[in-house]
Amino acid sequence: MKENLSHVIDSHQHFWVYNEMKDAWITDEMKVIQRSFLPKDLQPVLQENKVGGCVAVQASQSEEETNFLLELAGENDFIKGVVGWVDLKDKNIEERLIYFSKEKKLSGFRHILQGEDVEEYLSNKDFLHGISLLGKYNYTYDILVYHRQLKYVDDFVRRFPNQRFVLDHLAKPDIKGHTISDWEKEITLIAKNENISCKISGMVTEADWENWDEKDFYPYIDVVMRNFGTDRVLFGSDWPVCLLGITYQKWLSVLNTYFTNYSSTEKENFFGKNAMKFYDL
């Protein structure tokens, strides 16, 4: 697959200008990412690994964040799409969606649900109203939850059979603890909804950062591939968060090794075409 990586689209990475208050989630044990990360930092990494483009995903909850990412995308052709943030609970949400609809590189939205009471949030009437409007403007929605919160996602996704959803980071299974059964049951259930895809990304941060092994990841990827198939899985790096435990090149190597026995078409779908289709890049 290495020789075809110019067709790769990294469906999940972040940019930020580091601010100790805004980025309080970056704790002292994450010192390697306690700094700014901008397109000038990522572009050479993508070029070195022959990755053709990326999707920039929000890391903080504000429209300023969305505008910041859109500005970077406007200045850098390799940023093919943006997953921004908007307050989907806002009573004027449709006005905000109309406002943003002029932005050609804005593909969809995300909220950091992992930090919320997910059961309450996914049943909030205002939030559900906001979600119901996304399809009208061709917007996707990224679902970011921990494995223990996954049990609330299936009912939510079923409410909106025509909305394009993607599950970020496999819903963060407990790779470090090597537990899989409850997560697998939820993944199996959720994947029956054909309107949801899954990003194979962010795995190292859920493993032992210092002592992971490639084989730690395989059982979880097996579950995702078995349930989502090759047309609803997206490659993502989660750069620069991934740097807590792995280099960009090594993460690509892990996935290339895993997909060795897949067909060239299946590899092209996973490494790029599925992201292009999902995000309408």
pLDDT of the residue at 22: 86
Residues whose CB falls within 8 Å of the CB of residue 210, separated by 6 or more in sequence, listed in order: 245
pTM of the model: 0.96
- Give me the chain's average pLDDT, please: 96
Count structural domains, the chain.
Answer: 1
Question: Mean per-residue pLDDT for 191-202?
Answer: 98
Question: Mean per-residue pLDDT for 64-82?
Answer: 98
Whether the predicted pLDDT of 160 surpasses 50: yes
What residue has token string 């054909």? 194
pLDDT of the residue at 3: 42
Whether the predicted pLDDT of 165 surpasses 60: yes
DSSP calls for 152-176: GHHHHHHT-TTS-EEEGGGG---TT
Torsion of CA 41, 63, 143, 280, to 10 degrees: -70
Please state, as a whole number, how many other Cβ atoms lie within 10 Å of the Cβ of residue 159: 12
Task: Tell me the CATH number at 194.
Answer: 3.20.20.140
Percent of all residues in the chain with a pLDDT value above 70, rounded to a whole number: 98
pLDDT in tens, 30-55: 999 999 999 999 999 999 999 999 99
Residues whose CB falls within 8 Å of the CB of residue 126, separated by 6 or more in sequence, listed in order: 88, 89, 90, 91
Residue 45: give the domain boundaries. 2-278
Whether the predicted pLDDT of 84 surpasses 50: yes
